[in-house]
Structure 1
Amino acid sequence: MRRKKLKRKNMSVVTWKDTLKFLPIAAVFTAALAFAALYLTINTAHIVSPENLVIFKEREMVTKNGTISGCNLFAGRWVYDDVSRPLYKEGKCKLMEEDFACEKYGRKNLKYQNWRWQPHQCDLPMFNGTALLEKLRNKKVVFVGDSLNRNQWRSFLCLTVPHLPPKIILKGNYLNFEVKDYNATISLYWSPYLVESNFDNTLNHGANDQRTIRLKSIEKHGRNWMNADILIFDTFAWWTIPNTTILWGSFNSSDAIYKQVQTSVRHYEIALNTWSEWLEFQVDRNKTKIFFMSASPFRLGLTTWGTSSSCYNATEPIFDETYWPNAVKRSLMEVAESTIEKLEERGVKVQYLNITQLSSYREDAHPSIYKQFWKSIEKPLDPNKYSDCMHWCLPGVPDTWNEILYAYIMEL
C-alpha cells in the first residue's frame, strides 16, 4: 500500500480517543476480553484497566478545502531504524542539557536512540533544520511550561541548530537562544502551571516543596508571550501532585487567603480556563500560532520524581497498542481537549498535539539513573529511589514530538 504524502491544514483536534482509530476492531475486542480477565491478577500499572479500555471513536480530519486528509500522525507504531536514527549525536549537540544526556552519564544500551515513529497511513516529513530556520526567519518561538517542555525545547535546538555554541541567555523566566543569521529566537519560558505559582523561579523550584497556585492569575506570565509568533504550551505533570495550596490574593498581600486542598481535575480546569481567556483577549489571532502538547506519560511511584522505577533497565518499547500508564488521567486530558475545542468555537485556533499514547510505549527511553544529579547523594544510585522515569533521554522521544511540530509549522 502506498503511503499518503502528508497533507494537513487546520486539522481538527486529535483527542486521546482518536489515537487508536486504526486498530482492527476485532483485535480491540479480543484485547478487551483478555485484559478484563487479567485485571484481577496483574498489577494495574502494567495493563489498561477496564474503565480505560475503550473503543476510541473515529473522527474525520478535514482540511480547509473540505477534503479528508486521511492521516492521524498520532496513531502508529515504533519501528527500529539504525539507518536514519538518531537524528543527531548526543555528544555533537552543543546545546545538550545534562539532565537528558543519558549516554554521557553511563547508559550502555543505546537502542532507545534508534526507534522511529511510523504513522499508520502516512510518513512524517524529514526534519530539515535549514528549511525550518527559513520558515522562522524574523520570528520568535516560545515553549511555555515545565521541565518536559524544556526537554522538548532542548530537542528542538539539537534538531535545528546542533552545532551552534550554547549562548543561552537567562532573563527572568526566559531562557533565550538567538539564531542571529535568521534573526530568530527560540525560547523557553518557565511556567509549570501556566498560571502564577510559587514555583515560577526558573532555577530555584524544589520538587518537594509545597505548591501554592493562583488559579486565576496569569497576567504576570502572559505579558511575556504577547509578541511571540509561535507558542507551544504544556502543563500536566505538576497537576498530579496530591496536595496543593490555592491562593486568593497576591503573594505579598497581608489579606491573602491560603487553603490547602487535594489537587483535583477542577483546579486544572480553572487554570486552563484562565489561560484560554487570556489567549482569547490578548493574543493576535492573525499573527500568533498556538500549540498545546498533551500529557507526557509516566507511571506513578515512589522515586524522587514521583514515578515508578519501571524504566530502569528497560531496553525495548512496549508493543501493546492499548497500554496506558497509570499517572495519565484521561479526565485531565479531556479537560484540555474540551478547553481547546471551546477556544476554537470562539475563534482562537490552538493545535493540540496528542503525543501521549505514542510516548507511553517508550519506557525504554527515560533517563532513569543515567543523568546528572545536582545534589550529593549516596553511590551507587538506587534505581528504586532515583530513577527518573518522567523525562526523556536525548536523542529520543521528544525528537518525534518535534518532527510532528515541524510538520505543522512547515504548513503555516
Structure 2
Amino acid sequence: MSLPVVHLQIIDELGMGSGILNLPMCLKESLNAIRIALGFHSGANISLTMRTNKLRRMRYLLRNEMGRIVRYLGEVVLHQLLVAVEAIALDVRCSKPGMESILGWRWQPHGCDLPHFDAATFLRLVRGKSMAFVGDSVACNHMQSLMCLLAKVEYPMEIEPRGCFHCTRKYHYREHDFTVCVYWTPFLVRWNLTHGGQSFIDPHNVYLDESDPEWSGDVAGYDYAVLSGAKWFTRPTLLYEGGRILGCANVDGCEAAHNATDVAPDYALCASFRTALRALAGFRDRVVVRTVAPPHYENGKWYNGGNCLRTRPVRSNETSLPETEAAFHAAQVGEFRTAASAASAARFVLMDVSEMMQMRADGHPGQYRHWPHEKVGFSIDCMHWCLTGPVDAWNELLLHLLLSG
C-alpha cells in the first residue's frame, strides 16, 4: 500500500530556482504538528508553501561553558520540518504552540562546527553493524529521534513487534543491514517492585551490584552501546548490596519500616553505573555514556500540576543544573572516568549533554504530548523531549563520534 504524500513547495523569490518535494508521511499527527507550528488550522490544505525570502538566516547566541545555542531561521527550520513530516515514531507526540520558534534553535559547541545530521552518512557508517540504547524511557526517546532522522533515507522494520513502551524493542534497516535496539532498564541494575505494587507509587527493590539481565546477557552481540539513566533514582527505592539491604532512597520512615538508613539517590545512581560499566568492560566496540538530561517542571512536579510552557531556550546565566541533577551528573562522569581509565583507548566515550539540555526548557511536550481526547496517566510531560526537537542534537553528536572514531 502506497503512503500518502505531502507536497512541500519551495518558492524562491531570490532567483535561485523552485521545486516541489514529494515526501512520504507515515503519521497524520506529524502533519498536524507542522500545521500548528506554521500557524495553520487543523483543516488546512496539506500543500504547504514557504517563500525563501522569509527564511533568511538570523542568529542569536545563548552561551555556556561548553557551547552555545544558535538560532537559525532558514534552512534549519526547513530541515527540521522535513524531519517532522517523515517522523516514524511519535510516542512523544508534540503539537506544542510555538514549535516553529523551538525548532529554530540548535546546539553549537565552542571551538568547532557541529554539522547537521546526515542520515545517508550515518547509515553508511553503521552498515552491517548494530547499536543498543540501554536505559530508561529517555533512552527510548533518544532512539526514536535517531529513527525519525534516519527516515529521510530508510524506514526500519520492527523485529518481533511488541505493543509496549516500557520494554525491549528492536528494529532492522534491511537496505543497510543495521539493527538498532532499546533495552528498557530504568535502574540499569536488577530491580523489582515491592509488594507487587504499582510502579509509580510503591518503592522498588534495587540490587546495586547485580546487572539487569534484561540487557546484560544480550548486549555483547552489539557493535555500539549508548548507556544512560537517572530519572528513576528520584523515586522511592530499597537498595541492596551483597544480598543485604543497604538502605533506602526517597523513602519516608526508612529506619522504622525497614531497619535501614537513608542513602543519597546519587550514591545509588553511582553504584548502578559502576555495575553497568563493569558489565560492559568486555564490550567489543565503543560504549557511549550519555549524562543526565534534566527535566524542567515549573510550579510543581509531574504529579501535582507542574508544567513547562516556555517557547525559547533559557540563557546560561539564568539557569544551572538543579542540585539533584548536578549530583547525578557528577556521579556519572566520575564512574565514566574510572571505567575509561581501565579500558583501551577511546573505547568509552562521554556524551555530556547536561548543560546544553538545561538550557532547553522549551523542548518538552508538556501537556501537548497527547491529543486532547486521549486519556493517559502521564498528562504533563516535562521529562521527555519533543520529536523533532532539541533531542536531535544528541544524534548529531553521535554521528560526530562515529566520524571521529
Deviates more, 1:119-128 or 1:168-177: 168-177
Tell me the CA shift for residue 329 of structure 1: 3.1
Distance 1:246 1:143 in 2: 25
Q: Which residue of 2 aligns with 1:215?
A: 208
Equivalences for residues 84-95 of structure 1 within 5 A: 84-85=76-77, 86-89=79-82, 91-95=84-88
* Percentage of identical aligned residues: 21
Q: Which residue of 2 aligns with 1:388?
A: 381
RCO greater where, 1 or 2, for CA within 8 Å and sep 6 or more?
Answer: 1
The 1:400–1:212 alpha-carbon spacing in structure 2 relative to 1, beyond 3 Å, is same
Tell me the CA shift for residue 211 of structure 1: 2.0
RMSD: 3.1
**Do the aligned partners of 1:367 and 1:392 also contact (CA within 8 Å) in 2?**
yes
Distance 1:307 1:366 in 2: 17
Q: Given the two structures, how large is their TM-score scaled by the length of structure 2?
A: 0.69
Question: Pick from 329, 332, 335: which aligns with 1:336?
Answer: 332
Q: Which residue of 2 aligns with 1:291?
A: 288
Q: Which residue of 1 aligns with 2:362?
A: 364
Distance 1:327 1:211 in 2: 23
Distance 1:336 1:300 in 2: 22
Distance 2:221 2:386 in 1: 31
Tell me the CA shift for residue 390 of structure 1: 1.1
Partner SS state of residue 316, structure 2: coil
Question: Pick from 188, 191, 201: which aligns with 1:194?
Answer: 188
Q: In the alignment, does 2:389 pair up with 1:407?
A: no
Partner SS state of residue 344, structure 1: helix
Distance 1:326 1:333 in 2: 10
Q: Which residue of 1 aligns with 2:179?
A: 185
- The aligned amino acid for 1:366 is H
| Structure 1 residues not aligned, in runs of 5+ | 1-54, 57-73, 251-255, 379-384
Distance 1:177 1:274 in 2: 27
Distance 2:103 2:177 in 1: 31
Distance 2:366 2:203 in 1: 25
Question: Pick from 304, 320, 326: which aligns with 1:324?
Answer: 320
Tell me the CA shift for residue 330 of structure 1: 2.1
Please list the CA deviations of residues 266-315 of structure 1 after superposition, one character each: whole Å capped at 9, or x if unmatched: 222221221222222x323xxx1110111101246686636983512x11
Partner SS state of residue 237, structure 2: strand
Q: Which residue of 1 aligns with 2:75?
A: 83
Question: Pick from 108, 111, 128: which aligns with 1:121?
Answer: 111
Equivalences for residues 89-238 of structure 1 within 5 A: 89=82, 91-98=84-91, 100-103=92-95, 107=97, 109-162=99-152, 164-165=154-155, 167-169=157-159, 170=161, 173-198=167-192, 206-218=199-211, 220=213, 221-238=215-232
Please list the CA deviations of residues 74-126 of structure 1 after superposition, one character each: whole Å capped at 9, or x if unmatched: 4223324342234354652342223x2212xx645432112122223221123
Tell me the CA shift for residue 239 of structure 1: 1.3
Tell me the CA shift for residue 228 of structure 1: 0.9
The 1:307–1:268 alpha-carbon spacing in structure 2 relative to 1, beyond 3 Å, is farther
Distance 1:289 1:90 in 2: 27
**Do the aligned partners of 2:189 and 2:207 also contact (CA within 8 Å) in 1?**
yes
**Do the aligned partners of 2:207 and 2:240 also contact (CA within 8 Å) in 1?**
yes
Distance 1:205 1:183 in 2: 39
**Structure whose residues are more often strand by fraction:** 2
**Do the aligned partners of 1:318 and 1:363 also contact (CA within 8 Å) in 2?**
yes
- The aligned amino acid for 1:296 is A
Partner SS state of residue 226, structure 1: helix
Distance 1:130 1:84 in 2: 18
